Copies of this chain bind each other. A is one copy, B any other.
């Protein structure tokens, strides 16, 4: 069943210490002719330096509009096992926590219907099952959903929200990233499964400014934990860092972006009013420093990849918001954002692009957030600005 192909090119990629994806495909190929043909086609790509996949057609499961990426080989005669080779996106768990039992179950079903190849995980966060045939889709869905697993998003829809490990294992999480992400995923089930938006909409949640889920770079809505109030200092631990050889001046004081720290060799002081909560000092002196006590998050909007007028990073919209169950305020805010976007965007226009086109003001007005200096790096440079009738009434 396996080993149909000689793969001298790919074999080169089994050498060396880093785990080899080629070995993985070969492992799967032992059981699955689909995986074996994937191997063969990939070897051909390595020789000719081009891919052999056709544009995805629309395939899916009944009642859903997304969650499956249709994929067909352009060489179906040569590689019949990948004539269809669709991927299934399954919602990962919040924080990518699993038990061996759960993962085994996932594998069992997948071996039954698919290539035996997976991505743990996809870039958006989904658990990606790589390569199956159209006729298997309904069965796969029935098997997974009956065991509590649902499909992720694709197309012009809400995409699977994703988060950092947060309170599960991190001392800096300013809100419950796992719970919020679970809640939002549940909240937007319909929008996730039935594409009805102008384009994709992604949510990512990080517990602090380290942003371990890269939300600021690749989520239409980035939720980044932060605090109010003074950074908590344990001076004894500060001393221990100094004793253990840390150059507190060079590594901490001089690297503080706001220059709001001072250290006289004994006591570390922070002018908290000037701190911008960048996390540097806390991250590098984790035993000595902890975030302030009033916890919440900053809401940022708009990041995306460069197609087609350059990448965007997310923009600060709400400097500080409390993030506590049942997350009503945040959910309402998100719904208002999406509504405005949905009402105004052209097809394939992300929310960040729309804000750029329309201007920040209509967006802020639509979602009921006032203008604040925290939303900008600096005020405008040119003297060309709009006035509304409402600005004249006073």
Contact = CB atoms under 8 A, between A and B. Distances in A.
Contacts of A383: 306
Contacts of A382: 306, 310-311
Interface in A305-320: 306, 308, 310-311
A203 to B, nearest CB: 24
A242 B384 CA distance: 48
A244 to B, nearest CB: 27
A313 to B, nearest CB: 10
Size category, A interface: under 10
Contacts of A381: 306, 310-311
A306 B383 CA distance: 8
Interface in A360-387: 381-384
A217 to B, nearest CB: 12
Interface string A293-310: 000000000000010101
Contacts of A306: 381-384
A81 B384 CA distance: 36
A383 B310 CA distance: 8
A381 B313 CA distance: 12
A70 B77 CA distance: 80
A205 B5 CA distance: 71
A303 to B, nearest CB: 13
Contacts of A308: 384
A269 to B, nearest CB: 19
From A306, A308, A381, A382, residue with most partner B Cβ within 10 Å: A382
A386 to B, nearest CB: 15
A100 to B, nearest CB: 41
A131 B310 CA distance: 51
A18 to B, nearest CB: 26
A381 B310 CA distance: 8
A345 B332 CA distance: 51
A384 B310 CA distance: 9
A310 B382 CA distance: 5
A10 to B, nearest CB: 27
Contacts of A311: 381-382
A257 to B, nearest CB: 16
A262 to B, nearest CB: 15
A357 to B, nearest CB: 16
A308 B381 CA distance: 12
A30 to B, nearest CB: 38
Interface in A177-220: none
A188 to B, nearest CB: 30
A310 B380 CA distance: 10
A72 to B, nearest CB: 27
A131 B382 CA distance: 32
A311 B383 CA distance: 10
A306 B382 CA distance: 6
Nearest to A380: B310
Given A310-B381, A311-B381, 7 more contacts: A306-B381, A306-B382, A306-B383, A306-B384, A308-B384, A310-B382, A311-B382
9 contacts: A306-B381, A306-B382, A306-B383, A306-B384, A308-B384, A310-B381, A310-B382, A311-B381, A311-B382
Interface of A: 306, 308, 310-311, 381-384
8 nearest A-B residue pairs (beta carbon): A310-B382, A306-B382, A306-B383, A310-B381, A311-B382, A311-B381, A306-B384, A308-B384
